[in-house]
Structure formats: C-alpha cells, structure tokens
C-alpha cells in the first residue's frame, strides 16, 4: 500500500497532503505529519493539529503540542484545547506557548488554571500571566497570597503586570501574612528594581514597631542595593540603624550612637531568635556606658 512521503511534502510545502496524512492509520505517518504541520502558520494546520491532540499515541500528542507552540499566536484555538489534555506535559507546553506569545486571549483560561490541583500547572499559569501582563489577572493572583507554595510566584507576576503601581499591594501583603515559612511575598521585592529603594525605606520607617516586617523588607532592600551597586551612603540615613541592626553590624551600630537604640529595643521586645535578643542586649549595655 502507498505510504505518504512526509519529507517530500514538507519540501514541496504541500499542506493539504500533510493534513490528509495526519489521519493515516499508521502511527509513524501521523507522528511525522504532526511535526510537519508546525511548518505552516495556517488555521487549517492548527485545526489538523487540534484533531491530533485526541490521538491515542503519546508521540503524536507531544509532536502536535510542540508544533502548535512553534506556530505561535495563530495556534490559539489548538493551544486552548491542549490545556485540557489529560497529560500534564501537553498542558505545560500549551501554557508555555501562551507565555511566549504574550497572548491576552489566554488570560481567562490561565486564570482558571490557577485553581488546578497540580502545583506545576499553577506555577506555569502564574508565570504566563506575568508575561502576558493583563491587569485583569492581578486580583486572581492576589488571592494566591494565602498559599505558601505559590505566593512568591504570584507576587512576582503581579509586579511584572503592574510595576510600581502595585507596590503598596505587595507591602500590605507582607504586613498581613502570618508567616514567611517556605518563602513569602517579601521575596518578590527585588523584582521592583532600584526604583523601589526609596519607597521601601519609607515603608520601613512607617512600621518601626514591627520587627518581623522590618527584618523581611531590610533583607530584600540590601539585596537591591547590592544587585544595583547602590551605596548605603547614598540612601536615607534614617534607615541605616535598621539595616545595621538586621546585619548585626556592631561596629556601625556603635558609630550611630543614640540613634541605634530604637531598633535594638524593638529587637529585644519582638525578636524570636535568642541570638538577636542577645545582640541587642549586649549592644544596649555598651551604648549606655
């Protein structure tokens, strides 16, 4: 029996012939056709690949999803179907394609996937929403702040979408999250970049009675300073006692004199770590002499 020559069809750009071959009874023909269809940025190719997403053979399924990814934005209908596939890898390929294409048509489906039971699917959907940057995704992402495994990913996506307009939203989330075990919203602060230095300092100075908040935010403030080569000498000096207290920099704290007392008293009252309290106690005794 005559078998279709897929390679020859590809060279001749015979889309209709490849579409016909994609329905062949032989697995190896469908397998090759699924790859070849990715050469064509055409709705008819997308339709044929969408049909192949129901194939019983894993190789055909995988090739179909990869071809839809290659086709790009024109492949939206097929990629949408792929997100409903029973195989997680096929779903992830489709989600990654949406992310790479920055296709806002996918926003609603990706928001639905935030509720998926599989954390890999959830993280992929979060990252895709961050790249697509549709503001309608901010509120659904915000709802993930209560999920220990997902909240840092969600915060990073929100920052990509809204930039500094979402700064206060992130600060409020850090203030209200009950713990930071497993990572927290604060981990995303460096994603704001150097433009966040002064707003972060303002937030620290506005919450000087909350050592948990300060310790988390100062940690990321110092990361931003280091990453962007910003000298501590160039920032608001009022925040230096909090930075040096967090770093347990005894020498610099002594240089600050009386202004070092407030952070030390807050640490003494609120810090859970005994080494932090011991540091504060010893330094307060030194400063009182």
Domains of the chain (ranges, CATH numbers): 1-101 (1.25.10.10), 102-168 (1.25.10.10), 193-289 (no CATH)
* Nearest CA among 146, 143, 152 for reference residue 185: 152
Q: Where are the beta strands (DSSP E) in 112-180?
A: none
pLDDT, averaged in runs of 10, over the chain (289 residues): 89 96 96 97 96 95 96 94 95 96 96 97 98 98 94 97 97 85 86 98 96 95 97 96 95 92 93 91 87
What confidence score (pLDDT) does residue 227 get?
Answer: 97
pTM: 0.90
pLDDT at 180: 61
What single string gives the DSSP state of each residue in 26-47?
A: SHHHHHHHHHHGGG--SHHHHH
Considering the chain, what is the average pLDDT of its residues?
94
What is the three-state SS of 197-252? Answer: HHHHHHHHHHCCCCHHHHHHHHHHHHHHHHHCCCCHHHCCHHHHHHHHHHHCCHHH
């Amino acid at each position: 029996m005559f078998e279709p020559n897929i390679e020859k069809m590809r060279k001749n750009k015979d889309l209709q012939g490849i579409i016909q071959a994609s329905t062949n009874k032989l697995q190896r023909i469908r397998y090759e056709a699924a790859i070849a269809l990715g050469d064509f940025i055409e709705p008819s190719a997308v339709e044929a690949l969408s049909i192949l997403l129901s194939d019983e053979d894993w190789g055909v399924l995988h090739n179909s999803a990869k071809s839809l990814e290659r086709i790009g934005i024109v492949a939206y209908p097929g990629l949408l179907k792929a997100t409903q596939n029973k195989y997680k890898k096929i779903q992830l390929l489709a989600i990654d394609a949406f992310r790479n294409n920055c296709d806002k048509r996918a926003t609603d489906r990706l928001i639905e996937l935030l509720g998926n039971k599989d954390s890999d699917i959830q993280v992929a959907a979060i990252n895709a929403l961050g790249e697509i940057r549709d503001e309608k995704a901010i509120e659904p992402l915000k709802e993930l702040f209560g999920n220990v495994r997902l909240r840092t990913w969600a915060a990073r996506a929100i920052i990509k979408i809204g930039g500094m307009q979402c700064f206060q939203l992130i600060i409020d989330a850090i203030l209200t999250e009950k713990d930071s075990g497993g990572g927290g919203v604060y981990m995303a602060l460096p994603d704001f970049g150097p433009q966040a230095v002064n707003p972060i300092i303002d937030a620290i100075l506005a919450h000087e009675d909350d050592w948990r908040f300060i310790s988390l935010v100062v940690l990321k403030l110092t990361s931003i300073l280091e990453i962007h080569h910003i000298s501590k000498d160039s920032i608001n000096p009022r925040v230096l006692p909090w930075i040096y207290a967090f770093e347990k920099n005894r020498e610099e704290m002594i240089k600050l004199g009386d202004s070092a007392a407030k952070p030390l008293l807050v640490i003494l009252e609120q810090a859970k770590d005994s080494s932090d309290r011991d540091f504060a106690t010893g330094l307060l005794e030194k400063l009182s002499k």
